[in-house]
Amino acid sequence: MKKGRMMTVAGDAQQKIDSYLGRLRGRLRGVNEAEVREIVDELRSHILDKAAASEEARGEITPAAVEAALAALGPADELASQYMTDTLLARAEVSRSPVQILRSLFRWASLSVVGFFVLLGSVLGYFFGAVFILVAVAKLFHPQTAGLWLLPSAAGDSEISFRLGFGTVPTGGRDLLGWAIVPIGWLAGGGLVMLTTYVAVRFVRQYRRSLALPRS
């Protein structure tokens, strides 16, 4: 505790703290043990500090003071969910791996509308980035059919389509970029992946700051 003098903790008060932290620990599935211990230790210190602040004159932390501190934190399962989300987002922020980012965003999307739109934008960004790169690679193996094509549609007009080279090109189709799709695909695809990662990490960082989870 961050207090100038030691305070005793009533037996019932300690039981309430242990019970709350036990429920929270049980909900932290998927978080490694070292992180769980750190979270539990931070929360225990936070609870004692808050309870001690209201009971300093008595010299003892009472069950009522602990109840008030726990009520301010909210239900243990909801707080655990926030910690799990924060842990996943922190890993994504450090690793910058598209797989890790999407995994963390799926969890964030289940908690907020903002998270859903960040996930949607990231999925689209990574998808189109992957398409550009795949087409660039496919052009090396299917030079006559892979690329960015202008194809006739059933309605009588034309449509632009990426092709990976499988099957035959419909009659009247025209390869718009030819071999230029190889450098363009790599540059555009890699650029989209990096831009998507940058934007996603920026939103992740802002959201983590907004959580304002208890710290010791």
Domain boundaries, given as residue ranges, for the chain: 1-74, 75-216
The answer to whether the beta carbons of residues 159 and 209 sit under 8 Å apart is no
Q: Given this model, what pLDDT does residue 162 score?
A: 92
**Which comes out higher in pLDDT, residue 150 or 58?**
150
Q: Cα(120)–Cα(143) distance, rounded to whole angstroms?
A: 33
Residue 103: is its pLDDT beyond 60?
Answer: yes
Stated pTM of the model? 0.78
Q: Given this model, what pLDDT does residue 85 score?
A: 87
The answer to whether the beta carbons of residues 174 and 150 sit under 8 Å apart is yes
Q: Given this model, what pLDDT does residue 2 score?
A: 47
Q: For residue 85, which amino acid is it?
A: T
* DSSP H or E segment with residue 180: none
Neighbouring C-beta atoms of residue 91, cutoff 10 Å: 15
| pLDDT tens-digit map of 24-82 | 999 888 788 888 999 999 999 999 888 888 655 466 788 888 999 999 999 999 899 88
* DSSP H or E segment with residue 60: strand 60-61
Q: Cα(170)–Cα(176) distance, rounded to whole angstroms?
A: 14
Q: Given this model, what pLDDT does residue 5 score?
A: 46
Neighbouring C-beta atoms of residue 172, cutoff 10 Å: 9
